[in-house]
Amino acid sequence: MGHYRSNLRDLEFNLFEVHRIQDHLDAWPDFDVDTLKDILYELDRFVQGEWSESFVDADRNPPELVDGEVRLPESLKRSLAAAEEAGWTKLGLTAELGGMEVPPTLFWAAQELLLGSNPTAAFYASGSLFARIVYEEGTPEQREFAKLMVERNWAGTMVLTEPDAGSDVGAGTTKAIHVEGDTYHIEGVKRFITGGEHDAAENIVHLVLARPEGAGPGTKGLSLFIVPKYLVNPDGTLGERNGVVATNLEHKMGLKGSTTCELTFGMGKPAVGYLVGGVHDGIRQMFRVIEHARMTIGTKSAATLSTGYLNALEYAKERIQGADMTQMTDKTAPRVPIIRHPDVRRMLLMQKAYAEGLRALWMYAAYCQHMDALDPEGGWDRRSDLLLPLVKGYSSEKAYVLLAQSLQVLGGSGYIQDYPIEQYIRDSKIDTVYEGTTGIQAMDLFFRKIARDQGQTLAALAAEIGEFVKAGGDGDPLGAERGILGKMLDDVQGQIGAMVEDLMASMGGEAERIYEVGLHANSLLESMAEVVIAWQLLRHAEVAHPQADSDPFYLGKVESARWFVRDVAPKIAARRAAAEAEDGRLMALDDAAF
């Protein structure tokens, strides 16, 4: 049996019992519950077999770079070929692009399975995303190019980071030299480019941010260019090699099968690029890719924690060690499975609550995308935007921390490669860095998603959570938990109030007060994520409670929700108190004191 443990039951519970997407399929008339379940069942079969077979091998036998060419392990190429043959790489694309246009909720459920089973392979298989962006943003000629990308299963990359700029994308110096029309020559060096070079596809299409000569500084001066590895002839056949080459392959802690490259453009020969859409609107266009990537990373983190937890649970039920604590002084007492030991049981419920909570978080964000497709004027896009830094930032942080608890359940066995959890930990650490660090997500949350919006989207979300808090009535079995959620919501609003006060003071002459916002932005992201998760898990418990006495699955949903609420509430209160008491002393500390 392979390493991956999926949780189809919880995916279906989220989709069909909590969000009841079967009632919201007007834009997808070809689908019903049975059809959507069939897709998930078939995909689950696939990810348990051919897809996951390269998970370990690509880690132990990573790709190699020789003279600018990267060779992937054969096992990984077989996984990718199987996905292409089965059509999974086209899931979510429109019929115009030759795909299967499924609801966003189903698409992201599918991504959990693909990312949880083999994240390395999933990154290579994301070329359809880049094709969709080119199709939707491109000129008529580029739209035809996008169709070719899908038809021929070409790979794609997002090319932002530069060695000296790092996360400061606007400091990029890669140049775009105009040739004629929408054609440019790109010159510069980019770093940390996922899938930047490999031999699993006949062509790789790079979406590159570069600064046209004469353009202004910062992100507003950047434009987006299509730079294929191989130039394409008018009849669709491949032409000569373009002037983009991998000049380094990073040696990494995890995700070793994923080629993270330094790409050099215009070394020795021109790197021909084509201005996307014929317009200089690069940062907006690229942010469409970035936002999808952030949702992907949040889903990946949740998926990895889920399989880590389920592996630990399986081990805990089978591993016999020690007597029950009530008989620990009896040397003749029978040995029990370690799931009967209090500390192991505590760790398992913690993992269960957070694994299901992270899934509930990205699923709710996917539901907002789903509803936005049905009701574009309903504000769903703004709510989805508000949730995105929570999905990416919080999920990546908590998954990494809690996978250590998955390993702890296995004890010494978890630290060796006989079990997958040590690889899960190595593969997941990058998630807190990918597509903007957690600190960047937190700044985005406060300054863009809350302050710039004047709190309107947040207020609408808070009002809905507040209505849930009040909805129980007398005899409500979740009444105590609703009350705790209400206090959590008050504490988050109190912390936001303190941070807004600091922001206003910084604009009113006390410039250094802005530091106090920065010192607590991460903690606000944590608290907001925990309030949304607690709300969602209590919604789950509300659905599950009537059947909790007869079905252990539903009982588990109720109890994990209760545990989560009680676990996070004191932490949220403490973060509020810390934000309100902040005096900025840390920023005044002499650098030499560190």
CA dist 536 and 489 (Å) reads 13
Contact 101, 95 (CB under 8 A): yes
Model pLDDT, residue 210:
97
Task: Mention the CATH class of domain 8-133.
Answer: mainly alpha
- Evaluate the CA torsion angle 418, 421, 423, 426 in order and state its sign: negative
CB 16 within 8 A of CB 22: yes
Give the pLDDT confidence of 319-355 residue by residue, as tens digits. 999 999 999 899 999 999 999 999 999 999 999 999 9
- Cβ-Cβ contacts under 8 Å for 294 (sequence gap 6 or more): 388, 389, 391, 392, 435, 436, 441
Q: Mean pLDDT, to the nearest integer, of 358-367?
A: 98
Give per-residue pLDDT as tens, 421-439: 999 999 999 999 998 999 9
∠ CA 460-465-471, nearest 5°, is: 125
Q: How confident is the model at residue 474 (pLDDT cuts 50, 70, 90)?
A: confident
H helices of 210-341, in order, are 282-318
Phi and psi torsions of 542, nearest 5°? -60, -40
pLDDT given at position 501 = 96
Give the model confidence (pLDDT) of 370-404 as tens digits.
999 999 999 999 999 999 999 999 999 999 999 99
Express each pLDDT in 114-136 by its tens digit.
999 999 999 999 888 999 999 99
Q: Please name the residues in contact with 364: beta carbons below 8 A apart, sequence gap of 6 or more.
A: 19, 387, 532, 536
The candidate with the shortest Cα–Cα distance to 205, out of 299, 127, 275, 88, is: 127
Mean pLDDT on 216-226: 95
Domain ranges (residues) in the chain: 8-133, 138-280, 437-594
Instruction: Give yes or no for residue 171 having a pLDDT over 90.
Output: no
> What is the rounded average pLDDT of the residues 283-290?
95
What positions carry a catalytic annotation?
Answer: 435
Can you give 156-211 as a three-state secondary structure string?
EEEECCCCCCCCCHHHCCCEEEEEECCEEEEEEEEEEEECCCCCCCCCEEEEEEEE
Dump pLDDT digits (tens) for 14-25: 999 999 999 999
Provide the pairing of β-strand 64-66 with 69-71.
antiparallel
Model confidence at 420: pLDDT above 80: yes
Compute the distance between CA of residue 99 and CA of residue 84 in angstroms, rounded to an integer: 12
Cα angle for residues 427, 431, 432 (degrees, 5° grid) = 130
Average pLDDT over residues 173-188: 97
Domain 138-280, architecture per CATH: Beta Barrel (2.40)
The domains spanning 8-133 and 138-280 adopt the same CATH topology: no
Tokens 């920065």 belong to: 518
Is it the case that residue 170 has pLDDT exceeding 90?
no
Reported confidence tier of residue 111, pLDDT bands at 50, 70, 90: very high
| First vs last C-alpha separation in the chain | 50
Across all residues in the chain, what is the average pLDDT?
96
Query: Do 166 and 215 touch, CB atoms closer than 8 A?
Result: no
Q: Rounded to whole angstroms, how far apart are CA atoms 494 and 507?
A: 20
The Cα angle at residue 36 between residues 35 and 40, in degrees rounded to 5:
115
CA distances from 417 to 59, 212, 374, 426 (A): 11, 49, 46, 12
pLDDT of 31-90, one tens digit each? 999 999 999 999 999 999 999 999 999 999 999 999 889 999 999 999 999 999 999 999
CA atoms within 13 A on the CB side of 527: 28
Q: Which residues contact 36 (CB under 8 A, 6 or more apart)?
A: 15, 21, 22, 102, 103, 106
Q: If you average pLDDT over residues 201-205, what whole number do you get? A: 97
The torsion angle over the Cα atoms of residues 328, 332, 338 and 341, rounded to 10 degrees, is -20
Distance of CA 31 to the CA centre of its chain: 26
Q: Tell whether the model's pLDDT for residue 1 goes beyond 80.
A: no
CB of 450 closer than 8 Å to CB of 382: no
Res 168: pLDDT = 83
Report if pTM > 0.75: yes
φ and ψ of 551, to 5 deg: -140, 120
**Are the CB atoms for 530 and 485 separated by under 8 Å?**
no
Question: pLDDT by residue (tens digit) across 506-564?
Answer: 999 999 999 999 999 999 999 999 999 999 999 999 999 999 999 999 999 999 999 99
Question: With 90 as the cut, is the pLDDT of residue 472 above it?
Answer: no
Query: Given pLDDT bands bounded at 50, 70 and 90, which one contains residue 165?
Result: confident
What pLDDT, on a 0 to 100 scale, did the predictor assign at position 307?
98
Q: What is the DSSP track for 436-490?
A: S-HHHHHHIIIIIIIITTTTHHHHHHHHHHHHHHHT--TT-TTHHHHHHHHHHHH
Tell me, rounded to whole angstroms, the distance of Cα 270 from its chain centroid.
35
* CA dihedral over 284, 289, 290, 296, signed as positive or negative: positive
Amino acid at 32: D
pLDDT digits (tens, 9 = 90+) for 288-317: 999 999 999 999 999 999 999 999 999 999
What are the residues whose beta carbons fall under 8 Å from the beta carbon of 480, sequence distance 6 or more? Answer: none
Query: Rounded distance, CA 451 to CA 442, Å?
Result: 12
